[in-house]
Amino acid sequence: MAVGLDKVKPEAITEERQLIVDGMDISGHWNRMFEQRVIWDYDTSQLDRVTDLPGGESLAWCYGCAKCTGVCPVDIVGDYSPRKIHRKTQMGIDLFESPDLWLCTTCRNCLRVCPKEVDMIQIMPAVREQAVLAGSVPAELQKAFEDTAKHGNPLGQPQRKRADWIKKAGAPVPVLKDVKRPVDLLWYVGSYPSYHPRGIDAAAAAARIFHALGVDYGILGIEEKDDGDSQRLAGEKGLFEMLAEANIAAFEKYTWNRMVVTGPHEFNAFKNEYPKLGFVRPIVHYTRLLVEYLDRLRPMLTKPLNLKVTFHDPCYLGRHNGEYDAPRQLLRAIPGVELVEMGRCRENGYCCGGGGGGMWLDSFTKAHTTMRLSERRVREAVEYGADVLAVCCPFEVSRFEDAAKSTGHDRLIVRDILELLDQALEGQP
């Protein structure tokens, strides 16, 4: 006889805060697991090694429904998904030593569909950290760690040259050290926009747009360091903490109202991870900021581009942070742009392969998949007849441009939304 069921009415379901049935307390989240299923058939010690780690627990919750396999971007080019990881570790494969450990890009599509909330965004960094501590890291990833530790950026460029890109900006770029007054916006530029030639193109475009709009902002210049979040997801938590401490100190040196961020990974870091270290400030991705300025921006966009454009949702802007509309609003504001959506878009958007450390595992991932994720994505853009693949993540431009070349789709143009806006801006050559 159940106690406390007297409120159940035939026409409505009543939720109980606490419920005890046959002496068992069954209160809690609807998805709560009351007791771990007891597995007799296998030696679960490999699985236990994962689930014993703080962050690794949820791998045990998998009940093998395989919804994740259907949406995992890596499975589409390989043989990999959280469910498969669970099954393999259950059967005694050592995840700590397996190449599988480095294939997850933390794109979050599995977590979106998982009924059991098996969270690879927690599991992967936890297991990878152990591998990093044990020194078993793919060489190219280790080089990115070393470069970041030594130079403050994964490209291995000198810290003192971090602001050199502003010479190519074609518009004044105020550096806070020289501005010596409070500003409305602190613009966190990021490593790739500061150093990578194609990233610099986007940063320069942003500088020209900000200048045209009269945005009151400043950058940190050589006081800025990489955000470190992708290194954290790749297993180097200490490196992340070291960078975060340095960045937070630099952020707090100056007076500003809001921070605008070029990259979704950095946006995610400052919005969701830095607060855990005590840094809680308003953060905005550049797409959302420019939407706020759209009434002023739109009349300036006078040069029609006449292009069929498709948009790739960055995992860390879309699925991780729920922003799908701002980039599309900006694209639609450009005269002559016809926006076409790819099959995999918005919540189910495909992944470029650069997240969670994938940016620095290119050869490794290539060796363990049939094609790069970026190559798969470029093919999809071409299938939908796009002239331009538009992006708004600094990881993506070079990834997709390389993929367009390697798949023979050289005619596909890859542009950051900043570059397209800049191109349409009046007075630009």
Partner 1 sequence: MILAVAIKQVPNLTDDLEISADGTGLDYDALTYVLNEFDEQALEEAVLVKEAAGGSVTVVGIDTTGELDGALHTALAKGADRAMKVTGDFDRDLGSEGQAQLLAEAIRPLAADLLLTGVQAADDRDGQIGPRLAALLGWPYVGVVTHVTPEPGCVRVHKEYAGGLLAEFVVTLPAVIGVQASHQPPRYAPVSKIRQIAKTAQIESVAGQGTPASSSSVRRMFKPEAAGQAEMWAGEPEEVAGKIATLLTAKGLLKL
Partner 2 sequence: MSNDILILAEHLNGKLADITNEMAGQARQLAGALGGQAVAVLLGSGAQALAESIGSDRVLYIDDPALAEFNPEAYARVLAAVVAQRQPRVVMLANSSVGMDLAAGLAVTTGLPLIAYVNALSAEDGRIVATSQIYGGKILAEAVPAGEACLVTCLAGAFRPEAGRAAAAVERIASPAPLDGLKVQFVRLIEPEAGDVDITQQALLVSIGRGIGGAENIELAQELAEALGTVVSASRPVTDAGWLPKTRQVGKSGLTVKPKVYLAFGISGAPEHLEGMRGAELIVAVNTDPKAPIFDVAHYGATCDILDLLPALTERVKSDT
Interacting residue ranges for partner 1, rule: CB under 8 A: 129, 132-133, 135, 137, 142, 145-146, 149, 158, 160, 235-239, 241-242
Q: Using the rule CB under 8 A, which residue among 64, 115, 182, 197 binds partner 2?
A: 197
Cβ contact 36:56 at 8 Å: no
User: What x-and-dash track marks residues 205-234 binding partner 2 by CB under 8 A?
Assistant: ------------------------------
Q: Which is nearer to partner 1, 79 or 146 (CB)?
A: 146
Q: Alpha-carbon distance 46 to 93, whole Å?
A: 7
Residue 146 touches which member of partner 2, partner 1, none, C-beta under 5-8 Å by kind: partner 1
For residue 366, state whether it binds partner 2 (rule: CB under 8 A). no
Where do the H-state alpha helices sit in 78-160? 82-90, 109-113, 120-133, 139-151
All residues at 6 or more sequence positions from 36 whose CB lies less than 8 Å from its CB, including other chains: 60
Binding status of residue 157 toward partner 2 by CB under 8 A: yes
Residue 154: closest CA among 166, 140, 164, 167:
140
Q: What are phi and psi of 179, to 5 degrees?
A: -70, -40
Give the C-alpha separation, 188 to 224, whole Å. 8
> Other CB atoms closer than 10 Å to residue 301's CB: what's the count?
22
Supply the minimum distance, in Å, between the C-beta of residue 160 and partner 2: 9
Q: How far is the CB of 399 from partner 2 (least distance, A)?
A: 15
Helix (H) / strand (E) element for 309: namely strand 307-311
DSSP line for 66-81: -HHHHH-HHHHHSS--
Binding string, 134-153, against partner 2, x = CB under 8 A? ---------x----------
User: Which residue has 């977590």 as its token pair?
Assistant: 111
What is the smallest separation between the CB atom of 238 and partner 2, expressed in angstroms?
23
Residue 301, phi then psi, degrees to nearest 5: -85, 85
Pairing of strands 413-416, 388-391: parallel
From the list 88-96, 98-106, 154-162, 375-383, the region that binds partner 2 by CB under 8 A is 154-162
Report, in Å, the least distance between residue 156 CB and partner 2: 6
Min CB(149)–partner 2 separation in Å? 15
CB of 190 to partner 2, least distance (A): 19
CB 190, min distance to partner 1, A:
20
**Site pattern 89..128 for partner 2 (x: CB under 8 A):** ----------------------------------------
Tokens for 31? Answer: 């998805």
The entry of partner 1, partner 2, none that residue 149 binds, CB within 5 to 8 Å by partner kind: partner 1
Cα(80)–Cα(69) distance, rounded to whole angstroms?
7
Q: Give me the residues that bind partner 2 (CB under 8 A), please.
A: 143, 155-157, 161, 197
